[in-house]
Structure 1
């Protein structure tokens, strides 16, 4: 006799999902080697469970890096919402796999839904998200980024960063090597006692990357890190820079899945891997972190142009797992408005999560 299974709802069943644009202006235009932006044009995802728990997620599409923009993200998010309606958020891993199997080219949307699912679920459980991820710590300390600007402005931004208590500055390079060196020199002058990292955002050839590092070395400037010096598909170029430099080299745009990160590490192409939730989503990011730990490859966390919401998720991820060497979660400091409250308390570059009682601890500003 066949058993008829009745569909049961639990408190963690998804009752409602909403998707809407999230537009936030920047304090000033932010320019990197692959483009310039003056506004975060993101997507806000809100998931409500049967027990009333509400979870928030943010998709931060960026066309040059992800091949997504706000319009494609909104369209994909609406379709994802229809797929998840009535499902149990407790099965977040299988739901994440379902979304990624269908919408793999909309990675920021998949990440936003994973974020909203986990926020709602851990609110329902009464557990802070960092504790859900392992509770290794409850605070992270971020750097702040200086875009492709004139040396004089870079100097001013560096001074301002020091005044607000920032201890590491990330400098965008990858345009003209001479201009890049001048910008780094200006930052060093404005912030003589902070750590410096460089991010070329795919802007260099291998020879240009090494030329930049050599010119800085002649000026007694040794960066802590050079991030993504060459185009993302040029694995051999990445390896060439890594093998010919004493400065650690990080993969960012080149690193997007556990399998591809394992390949980069096996070929000796990188010393550091920059995980971005918008590239890989949370489930895949956990696997990437595991690959890096197993191979003693240093971990970094980064972000697209994200608000306090998505940055909180990344901070909870890093604090919960522990062991991240480089933390680049500064984008809320570049925005002219903040539509959210909570998630963390900020002191200088420190994001303190210890006051979060459940989930991300984020709420919308009224």
Structure 2
């Protein structure tokens, strides 16, 4: 039996309250209702994975993710974690509709394997860099609250602010304007989370332009299946447009790029999984398409995975990995050291460097 043979897989709920409700165009959440996966290898190496289902985005819930993750246990026990790409394909072939479970299993596999190998995961993935710089998101709140949150963000030493829009146009514009007045030197991105029609998205950008506010990006302005609408927005503004919910796998990204429907792709492990994310990144590099990395409502564990992937591969121009800062408690330590908006991975000795408290 190889030292990297999987001897046990455990699955448990991971529920973490938020500091305050977080509202976006498709819904509001008050807690991360996730799933924790632990994989142990023959040599005693342990790897952790996290599934972060969000029903409006992934069609999964904590309950369905728990059920699917438990179904993976017998698929993986006795297998060699060194064959992580083969095992990823196996999991995806059975539980393709539970994308966050596939991602969580891949995460735990790679964490355990690289701990066994004694190397940090970002080095295993290429070692292009040892740090990433995240933005901070401001949800759909009143302009007054948005102003305060923007002030807090600047005080944290974070210079990139992502503003949730996609609701009432006037309220959205007022929120962005309040954030601009609170943080005049910050870089602003907008995320509509599928909330607009193509026309509304362009009206929003026009209204902001009239107030001399120019975001560096508008993310997923229209419904995920409205590829033509996404292309229309991209063709009618000079503000870069990112596909998020529309970009679920390499095939959908190839279609979007061929159409000219977006000029930035937001890679999220909970949508695509890790192997597919590597394919999406390669596709974007080959076509000189801008890359960003984002997350669902994830703890330090899953965020560390995304940070390791972005740092290891390099080339991600926008990083949106702020969700641990939204949580009321942190059940994990390690993974990275945070300084302002910078996540420094250089002190990680092996794997993700995550430990349970």
Normalising by the smaller structure, the TM-score range is over 0.9
2:159 and 2:343 map into 1 onto residues whose CA distance is: 13
Aligned to 2:307: 315
Q: Secondary structure at the match of 1:109?
A: helix
Aligned to 2:78: 86
The superposition leaves residues 202-258 of structure 1 with CA deviations (integer Å, 9 ceiling, x where unpaired) of 000000000000000000000000000000000000000000001000000000111
Aligned to 1:32: 24
Give the TM-score normalised by structure 1. Answer: 0.97
Give the alignment of 1:101-140 within 5 angstroms: 101-140=93-132
The superposition leaves residues 182-203 of structure 1 with CA deviations (integer Å, 9 ceiling, x where unpaired) of 0000000111101000000000
2:75 and 2:19 map into 1 onto residues whose CA distance is: 37
Q: Based on CA coordinates, which of the two structures has the bigger radius of gyration?
A: 1
> In the alignment, does 2:289 pair up with 1:297?
yes
Aligned to 1:326: 318
Q: 1:22 aligns with which of 14, 17, 23?
A: 14
Q: Secondary structure at the match of 1:245?
A: coil
> In the alignment, does 2:139 pair up with 1:153?
no
> In the alignment, does 2:253 pair up with 1:228?
no
Q: 1:99 aligns with which of 87, 91, 101?
A: 91
Aligned to 2:334: 342
Q: 1:181 aligns with which of 173, 178, 199?
A: 173
Aligned to 2:206: 214
Q: Secondary structure at the match of 2:273?
A: helix
The alignment covers a number of residue pairs equal to: 357
Q: CA deviation at 1:259?
A: 1.1
Deviating above 4 A after TM superposition, structure 1's stretches of 4 or more consecutive aligned residues are: none
Aligned to 1:271: 263
Give the TM-score normalised by structure 2. Answer: 1.00
1:241 and 1:156 map into 2 onto residues whose CA distance is: 31
Q: CA deviation at 1:81?
A: 1.2
Q: 2:4 aligns with which of 8, 12, 15?
A: 12
Q: Secondary structure at the match of 1:42?
A: strand
The superposition leaves residues 335-354 of structure 1 with CA deviations (integer Å, 9 ceiling, x where unpaired) of 00000000000000000000
1:154 and 1:258 map into 2 onto residues whose CA distance is: 35
> In the alignment, does 2:274 pair up with 1:282?
yes
Q: Secondary structure at the match of 1:309?
A: helix
1:227 and 1:240 map into 2 onto residues whose CA distance is: 14
Q: 2:353 aligns with which of 337, 354, 361?
A: 361
Q: CA deviation at 1:82?
A: 1.5
Q: 1:242 aligns with which of 216, 234, 242?
A: 234
The superposition leaves residues 26-61 of structure 1 with CA deviations (integer Å, 9 ceiling, x where unpaired) of 000000000000000000000000000000000000
Aligned to 1:166: 158
Q: Secondary structure at the match of 2:196?
A: coil
> In the alignment, does 2:224 pair up with 1:258?
no
2:116 and 2:328 map into 1 onto residues whose CA distance is: 32
Aligned to 1:3: none
